[in-house]
Amino acid sequence: MRRKLVAGNWKMHGSLATNAELLAGVKAGVAGLAAEVAVCVPYPYLAQAQQVLAGSPVAWGAQNVSEHAQGAYTGEVSAGMLKDFGCRYVIVGHSERRTYYGETDAIVAAKFEAAQKAGLIPILCVGETLEERERNVTAEVVTRQMQAILERCGVAALAEAVVAYEPVWAIGTGRTATPEQAQEVHAQIRALVAAADAGIASNLRILYGGSMKPANAKELMAQPDIDGGLIGGASLIAADFVAICAAA
């Protein structure tokens, strides 16, 4: 049985003052829920997340990581540094990183590897653009993104990782994939992993991300291959995020 995971992706939002309220609301609201809960916060707020959430069931993490362990990489943050602040998770390959910061499949695979080397659990994002969906190449795109990880890290690496299917056209648009559309791709991802290792595939948590809200969370997460959510906008409102965690 795969335990559901609901992870918040705050993106570049928040302040010390607003985070204090949000973190306290999440911590209080999700106490006793069955699902695992995590929040991925901007780097400067990792210490704050650690301070508020330490000892609670809510895990925390970051939204990006350097592919390098250390060195002359001005402005970068290593996986070891994230570990220092008690992170459990780190998002790698979010479509905003791929699109705005030129992260290729190869860079994403290197970041995935660097995260695991430091003992972090990568949340690997994959997903097609609207143009790719309309060209009917969703399966090819997601396969290529997954294959980059399998080739560099091997299937065993997926035993200590989470995958998030995030159709780019559904992110922050209010346009959610239907449960059937999402389930279809989740099943393809699981089948792709199963072709290499059936046991790892059946334990792999595959989250859905893209305009998941309290109103659609239950139906999405009821699909057999949807094991939780990666939540952007709704993770910034404690009541909404808690409602999604409860739906899981």
Binding site for ligand PGA (CB under 6 A): 9, 166, 171-172, 209-212, 230-234
Nearer to ligand PGA, 29 or 232 (CB): 232
166 is catalytic: yes
Of 81, 83, 33, which is closest to residue 58 (Cα–Cα)?
Answer: 33
Comparing CA positions, the residue from 75, 118, 68, 126 lying closest to residue 97 is 126
Smallest separation, CB 176 to ligand PGA (Å): 8
Single out the catalytic residue among 36, 67, 94, 128: 94
Residue 146 or 234 having the CB closest to ligand PGA: 234
* Helix, strand, coil percent content, the chain, rounded in steps of 5: 50, 15, 35
Nearer to ligand PGA by C-beta: 93 or 210? 210
Report the DSSP beta bridge partners of residue 229.
6, 208
Query: Judged by CB, which is closer to ligand PGA: 128, or 155?
Result: 128
Q: Which helix (H) or strand (E) holds 6?
A: strand 5-9
CB of 98 to ligand PGA, least distance (A): 12
Note whether 179 and 220 are within 8 A (CB): yes
75: alpha, beta or left? (left if phi > 0; alpha if psi -120 to 50): left
Q: Is 13 part of the annotated catalytic residue set?
A: no
Residue closer to ligand PGA by CB (options 59, 200) is 59
Amino acid at 48: Q
d(CA 77, CA 90): 12
CB of 72 to ligand PGA, least distance (A): 31
| Shortest Å, Cβ 93 to ligand PGA | 11
Q: What residue number has its CB nearest to ligand PGA?
A: 232
Structure letter (DSSP) for residue 28: H
Give the Cβ contact number of residue 22 at 10 Å: 22
DSSP structural state of residue 122: E
- Kindly name the residue from 36, 67, 113, 166 that is annotated as catalytic: 166
- Token pair, residue 165, equals 């299917």
CB of 227 to ligand PGA, least distance (A): 15
In angstroms, rounded to a whole number, what is the distance separating the alpha carbons of residues 6 and 99?
24
Task: Give the catalytic positions in this structure.
Answer: 94, 166
